[in-house]
């Protein structure tokens, strides 16, 4: 192989490797505090960067994580996700944090997945049933009953859930490997899509009666946040 061809080959190999391994880009500076002023900033990871000289401790802190969320939803749970939108100093750092509050006897963070992150969960209070399901073709369920002090990890992009199976409220903290992990709640995406998915698609895919599908699509689907 000629030298030019080898150089092109190795360049393509390096490029493919970078796409295969990259999640949030690695920062090229100490920090990039997110800012909305596009007259005096540059874009990094989708956010504009504040001039480092104007950064303050408030950019790197958040208050109120100790306050329980409003769990008066149909799933009886609330997720308070802290991303770079609420804590600007998180921008480019590749991490975010969530507090999840559950009502007793069935408060649920319903099956969902994060398209851009893995997650590790720490139970602070209560008793949770948590698990995830692997991808095609096996669809293996990995689940466990978790108590205060227990940790559980949800691999990148896999459907997972948590439900309070105890008689008292439950609280958990989740750390995610992206400043903007995203969340796609399965039932909401399927039955609450805008515009609605053709009922014939869901009837066949889920082995459901068409009337039931149309009834589910007519309901209001609200995220637990």
Dist CA 95 CA 118 (whole Å)? 10
Within a domain: residue 79? yes
Give the DSSP H/E element, type plus range, for residue 43: strand 43-44
Mean pLDDT (the chain, rounded): 86
CA distance from start to end of the chain: 57
The predicted pLDDT at position 48 comes to 79
Confidence class for position 69, pLDDT limits 50, 70, 90: very high
> Residue 216 domain-assigned?
no
Compute the average pLDDT of residues 108-117. 95
Read off the pTM. Answer: 0.81
Binding-site annotation: residue ranges: 109, 112, 114, 119, 160
Mean pLDDT of 147-155: 97
Q: What is the DSSP letter of 196?
A: P
Count the domains in the chain.
Answer: 1
Check whether 156 has a pLDDT greater than 80: yes
Q: Is residue 96 in some structural domain? A: yes
pLDDT, position 46: 63
Residue ranges of the binding site for oxalate: 109, 114, 119
Compute the distance between CA of residue 89 and CA of residue 56 in angstroms, rounded to an integer: 9
User: pLDDT value at position 22?
Assistant: 46
Position 30 scores a pLDDT of 67
User: 151-172 burial, b for 16+ CB within 10 Å, e for fewer?
Assistant: ebebeeebbbbbbbbbeebbbb
The Cα–Cα gap between 68 and 89 comes to 23
Mean pLDDT computed over 118-145? 97
* 168 vs 93, higher pLDDT: 168
Instruction: Provide the annotated binding site for Mn(2+).
Output: 112, 114, 119, 160
Look at residue 32 and tell me if it is in a domain: no
- The span from the CA of 171 to the CA of 122, in Å, is 9
**What is the mean predicted confidence (pLDDT) over 118-133?**
97
The CATH number that applies at residue 87 is 2.60.120.10
Backbone angles phi, psi at 54, to 5 degrees: -100, 0
Tell me if 205 is assigned to some domain.
Answer: no
CB count within 10 Å of CB 150 equals: 15
């Amino acid at each position: 192989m000629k030298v030019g061809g080898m150089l092109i080959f190795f360049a393509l190999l390096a490029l493919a490797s970078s796409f295969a391994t990259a999640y949030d880009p690695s920062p090229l500076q100490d920090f990039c505090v997110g800012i909305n002023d596009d007259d005096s900033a540059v874009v990094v990871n989708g956010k504009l960067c504040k001039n480092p000289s104007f950064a303050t401790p408030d950019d790197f802190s958040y208050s109120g994580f100790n306050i329980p969320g409003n769990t008066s939803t149909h799933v009886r749970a609330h997720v308070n996700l802290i991303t770079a939108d609420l804590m600007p100093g998180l921008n480019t750092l590749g991490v975010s944090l969530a507090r999840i509050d559950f009502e007793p006897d069935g408060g649920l963070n319903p099956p969902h997945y994060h398209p851009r992150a893995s997650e590790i969960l720490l139970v602070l209070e209560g008793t949770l049933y948590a698990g995830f399901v692997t991808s095609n073709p096996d669809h293996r369920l990995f689940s466990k009953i978790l108590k205060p002090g227990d940790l559980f990890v949800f691999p990148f992009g896999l459907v997972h859930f948590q439900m309070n199976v105890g008689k008292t409220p439950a609280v958990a903290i989740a750390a995610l490997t992206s400043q903007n992990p995203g969340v796609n709640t399965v039932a909401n995406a399927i039955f609450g899509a805008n515009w609605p998915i053709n009922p014939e698609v869901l009837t066949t895919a889920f082995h459901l009666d068409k009337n039931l599908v149309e009834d589910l699509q007519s309901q209001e689907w609200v995220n637990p946040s």
